[in-house]
Amino acid sequence: MLEAHAPEPRSDAGADSEHESDREFGQAARGAESLLSRQADRSTDTEFFSPMPEGYRRGRHKYVAVFGTVMSGLGKGIFASSVAKLLKDKGLVVAPIKLEGYLNIDAGTLNPFRHGEVFVLDDGTECDMDLGTYERLLDQDLSRMNFMTSGQVFSTIVDRERHGAYLGRDVQWIPHVTGEVKRRLRELAMYGDGERPADVVFVEVGGTVGDYENGFYIEALRELAFEEGEDSVCFVALTYIIKPQTLGEQKSKAAQLGIKRLMEAGIQPHMIACRATDPITEPVRQKIAMFSNVPLRRVFSMHDRPSVYTIPDDMRLAGLDREILSTLDLHDRVDTSIEDRRRREWAVFHDGLVRPKKRRVAIGLTGKYVAMRDAYASIDKAIEHCSAHLGVDVDLRWIETTDITPANAGARLEGLDGVIVPGGFGSRGVEGKIACVRHCRERGVPYLGICLGFQVAVIEYARNVLGLKGAGSSEFDRRCADAVISELPEQKKIEGLGGTMRLGGQEVVISPGTLAEFLYGLPMPGNHAGLAAPGADGALHARERFRHRYEVDPEYVARLEAAGLVFSGRHPAQPIMQVLELPQVSEGATGGSGHPYFIAAQFHPELTSRPARPQPLFMGLVAATAVRKHGPADAHSALAQWSRVRNGQVQAV
């Protein structure tokens, strides 16, 4: 036991403060003594340690756990989100979660070259790109509860140990680490979609079976199935069927060994999804079924398809949704009326996706991470959503900006009907992006800037229109003559990279009579709710997601506007510019000329695009490129609806 010893008396001037400090120590020591006494009375005979959230009902919630074998990057998130969509379409409440093995607390500091896109949720969580797949397919906003890392788990456990939560026990991988994982999964089940508890929690285990860093997740899920009881957990193994070029036929041995590794961990899969370039042959399916103890009807060919959005329908045709309902005993929770309605709604998007398209445009994605396509996954999907709704085939071309200069920009961007300059951090490739902006502005090429693409548009305009040759950003050059992009005064008082980041969903007030108002004011396909609604001030208020640190310096705003730049979206209370644009044809531009489509956003519009609710800024870009290249569309078509400039005239909002 700890004992508090009284200090020797002192006669110096600091005696009072010393006594106060000693009293505090004595109180802390007595508190620790009491804590130890309480823990000593606890029984440590049981080896069970599985924290249950208050109010949790065992058997009420079901779980589907997806594991990857053979190698990573097979598409566990695509499989899980597709099945989750099928169950949600049947009226069930679903809640997905991604379990990451790395020790980072979140994905915010990960390099896109190593881990792909950092997806930002509405609550500001920086997470894995798979959560973007879940949000898009489920049309459901997620939160920090839908993302777990080893770093989060270990931080929580160490913090609890320091506060005495485990006194009397040595803190171990089993049961304490696995117990923390199970606690979080059960809390998510109770939280559900934020409005109702989940019928089914979809658990995606990152990495590959056999990795050191995800072993405790696999063990936790084995324990979860044991504790929840029969018909409560469905295990799915995603594997890879190789086809060596020298042999020219599919081989299943690697898949068999990968599934065997999962079974050695105590997990018997209920279903197998086989990734491959081509459809899985029947002999291979039979081998996989025989060696994994899985019925043949539950071995699914998840081969390459033109679009991931065709996978849910293929799964339904294969009967996977019914198999999972049977495994989890959930048939009685299906609402057929909801399913019929949602299938009709999805069919509109699906049919538009696969239908042959008469118009084709080329849009350049000019970024610094194009060697890693996953770094811009949400932009790629946002374009795909627009393509389906507008009936335009978009050839997205990936262009590295590091070696683009003012001298070769025209040649590098030749043949493009539109340009997107995406976000990014650091100075590499920035001057190339500025050269792209100038090319689009001066030659009338439709342009969409995102985050850094917004900032370089301001820099280019300040340099080449306003005449500030030394214009730049304090992010790249602290001593630049005119830092038109900088940290706001209140941000500069906060130290540390995380302290000054603007993260997550925030309001954008749209100025009336602008291109931004036209786009955000249009109804979504199928009368789905859009991203903007009128505010108390009468203006449109949109909610978009941010991930940046630097802003347009307010000292330059008036001068930029006087030179013709339009800031059409602003923060509701702060002098923060959030959308910019150039006047369009016949909008008061000199000589009746103007730009067909030039708009940029400080936020990331790609993060809020959904198949049924395509993002307005992307819809406007694709429509503008198609009309500029192919001429006016039929007046009643979606393409005409999203084209603000028709026959040389700007349409009213």
**At how many degrees (to 10) do helices 76-89 and 320-328 cross?**
80
279 to each of 167, 241, 242, 274, 417, how far by Cα in Å?
Answer: 55, 10, 12, 9, 36
Q: Is 215 exposed, middle or buried (0-12, 13-18, 19+ CB in 10 A)?
A: middle
194 to each of 43, 143, 187, 544, how far by Cα in Å?
Answer: 37, 9, 11, 19
Phi, psi of 123 (to 5 degrees): -85, 5
Q: Is 401 left (phi over 0), alpha (psi -120 to 50) or beta?
A: alpha
**At how many degrees (to 10) do helices 215-228 and 178-191 cross?**
60
**Tokens, residue 203:** 């658990």
Cα distance between residue 458 and residue 557, in whole Å: 10
Catalytic pick from 274, 440, 451, 480? 451
Cα distance between residue 405 and residue 411, in whole Å: 10
Known active-site residue 606: yes
Residue in this structure with the two tokens 């409005």, named with its chain if needed: 195
Catalytic pick from 61, 176, 350, 604? 604
Catalytic pick from 126, 460, 544, 606? 606
Cα distance between residue 301 and residue 272, in whole Å: 9
Task: Pinpoint the alpha helices (H) of 444-530.
Answer: 452-464, 489-492, 515-521
Known active-site residue 440: no
Q: Is 47 exposed, middle or buried (0-12, 13-18, 19+ CB in 10 A)?
A: exposed
Question: Half-sphere exposure (CA, 13 Å, Cβ side) for 222?
Answer: 15
593 to each of 79, 155, 646, 648, how far by Cα in Å?
Answer: 49, 59, 14, 9
Q: Are 464 and 615 in contact (CB under 8 A)?
A: no
The candidate with the shortest Cα–Cα distance to 516, out of 624, 440, 599, is 599
Residue in this structure with the two tokens 């086989």, named with its chain if needed: 274
Taking the alpha carbons of 426, 432, 435, 437 in that order, is the dihedral positive or negative? negative
613 to each of 196, 228, 378, 532, how far by Cα in Å?
Answer: 23, 37, 14, 12
Known active-site residue 350: no
**Residues classed as catalytic:** 451, 604, 606
